Amino acid sequence: MDELTAFNQCLAWLTHTTALPEHLDGLVLCGNSLPATATAAGQLAQDYQLPLLIIAGGIGHATKYLRQNLNLPKSQASEAELMATLVRKTGYQGSIRLDKTSTNTGSNATHARALAPTDWRHSYSYKTRYSRGGLP
């Protein structure tokens, strides 16, 4: 396989979209540097009328870039706190549980799982969807 073919194959995988599920019990937003993910997660939570949203993200490698993207370079807030503010700006009125201690993707997942209700069977991670295919 030549380099261009491999590159195009990689792009196709990264931009592949999947249909949203018919039912969701909950939504997990993992910290990252893209404010649009928080806005889209807030809209999605409203569309599904979710009573709870979990946002995991402390201060890690993406925090500096998120703060820059929000024009808040001096902020000391965690990614979860910054994203919660953006989610609220969408009009989402449900509960938000924050993990403000995660510093990487693995701890985002572990800490978000610890915050999730035991009855969640169908949850969705918005960071994964956004990074692989765009907004709904």
Q: Are 28 and 20 in contact (CB under 8 A)?
A: no
Structure tokens at 126: 């918005």
Indicate the helix (H) or strand (E) that contains 38.
helix 35-47
Structure tokens at 96: 């938000």
Percent of the chain with pLDDT over 90: 58
pLDDT, tens only, 72-103: 999 999 999 999 999 999 999 999 999 999 99
Helices 126-133 and 35-47 sit at what angle, rounded to 10 degrees?
Answer: 120
CA-to-CA distance for 39 and 92, rounded, in angstroms? 10
Q: Are 130 and 34 in contact (CB under 8 A)?
A: yes
Coil/strand/helix, residue 53 = strand
pLDDT, tens only, 18-27: 777 788 888 9
pLDDT, tens only, 43-68: 999 999 999 999 999 999 999 999 99
List C-alpha distances in Å: 57 to 31, 41, 61, 103.
Answer: 4, 14, 10, 7
